[in-house]
Structure 1
Amino acid sequence: MKIIVLSDTHGDLETVQAVSAMPADAIFHCGDSELTQDAEVWQTISTVKGNCDRERQFPDQVIRRIGDKQILVVHGHEHDCNRSLLPLYYEAVQQQADIVLFGHTHLYGAEMKDGILFLNPGSPVLPRGDKQPTYAIIEWERDATVSFVNLHNELVDTLQIKNF
């Protein structure tokens, strides 16, 4: 299985369109797209509402099963992800999620906690700190690879997960 994850594109329709054209089993946007709900890209991308999204029709969270994995998508601001993953962890357990996708911080990163993958793809247009602009690709069969990629499709960072 292969999913693509992006977040915090803040009105950059061109970037969202470019990612939406990539081959994947699913594509997720973790909010703060600042695009309208009727934008054509949402036909191929599942998205949630971020704190900067004016479109209140976007859901606060999306839960989807892709292959054998339950995926929870949120923006993260309502779970105080700047301070701790604990509120996201509790939500993941409640939703029986195997993967939690979130944004808000504009900082990419991934970690496993009690068999749950927590992933922030960063921002492909407005990264913070010394981070590069990124989106994420998760590929799995038995093992998983999380790749953080820039808009030139160059690998920025990676995480290997055994027995995913």
Structure 2
Amino acid sequence: MGKALIVSDSHGLKDELIMLKKRYEGQVDLMIHCGDSELSTNAGELSGFVTVKGNMDYLGDDLPNESIELLEQTCIYITHGHLYDVKMSYLSLGYRAEETGAKIACFGHSHVAEAFEREGMIFINPGSIRLPRGSFEKTYAILEIEEDVVSVSFYSLEGIRIDSLCKTFVKEKNNKNKKV
């Protein structure tokens, strides 16, 4: 089983990133920050995270706009989302993720925590650990991949699971995903 911690839109928070790293140390195979950390590229708080550049990352202007990672043989596309207008539509993001061979697209920008599937692509936005929208909870996500099952669990910054946001997807034989 592969497991990833996904955060986004921390907007200058440092202690919270350190706390999450300590909370999941040794429990996850991958740590992802989907941008708008507002920290410099070499900030210690970001060490260990695969980090992409958000629209507010002026200190980390040498961060990449996208990253591609493997978790349990599953390709994950990571970007902030502003370059794909995710506040308007997920179409461009889905096309770009598909071009990279990804089955999962992780992004931020809208500060809205959600996980959903479209056309065989699983989209994950962990929300924001600083300025949440769509809910009052400051959130992050845990992605778990085990054989043909992809689970996305959302947690408050305090570590309390938010059941209403959690989703499980089952990969069908035709490589499409089915929400359970």
TM-score normalised to structure 1 length: 0.95
The equivalent residue for 1:128 is 133
The CA deviation at 1:6 is 0.3
Pick the aligned partner of 2:155 from 142, 145, 149: 149
- What is the SS of the residue equivalent to 1:162? strand
Instruction: Output the CA distance in 1 between the equivalents of 2:153 and 2:121.
Output: 17
Contact 1:107/1:131, CA 8 A, preserved across alignment: no
Matched residue SS, 1:53: coil
Q: How far apart in 2 are the matches of 1:116 and 1:24?
A: 22
Please name the residue that 2:17 is paired with. Answer: 16
Farther off after superposition, 138-147 or 70-79:
138-147
The count of residues paired between Structure 1 and Structure 2 equals 164
Q: CA deviation at 1:38?
A: 1.3
**Which segment drifts farther, 107-116 or 69-78?**
107-116
Gaps of 5+ in 2: 172-176
> How big is the alpha-carbon RMSD for the aligned residues of Structure 1 and Structure 2?
1.2
Unaligned runs of 5+ in 1: none
How far does the alpha carbon of each residue in 1:10-33 deviate from its partner, in whole angstroms, 9 at most, with x for none? Answer: 000111111222120000000000
Higher mean Cα deviation, 131-140 or 97-106? Answer: 131-140
Q: For the structure 1 residues 130 and 35, does the alpha-carbon distance in structure 2 shift closer, same or farther, using more than 3 Å as the test?
A: same
**Structure 1 partner of 2:174:** none
| Aligned partner (choices 52, 65, 73) of residue 56 of structure 2 | 52
- Match for residue 84 of structure 1? 89
Give the CA deviation at 1:43. 2.6
Identity of matched residues, %: 36
Per-residue deviation at 1:120? Answer: 0.3
The equivalent of 2:73 in structure 1 is 68
Letter in 2 for 1:38: N
Distance 1:13 1:104 in 2: 19
Runs of 4+ in 1 over 2 A off after TM superposition: none
TM-score scaled by length of structure 2: 0.87
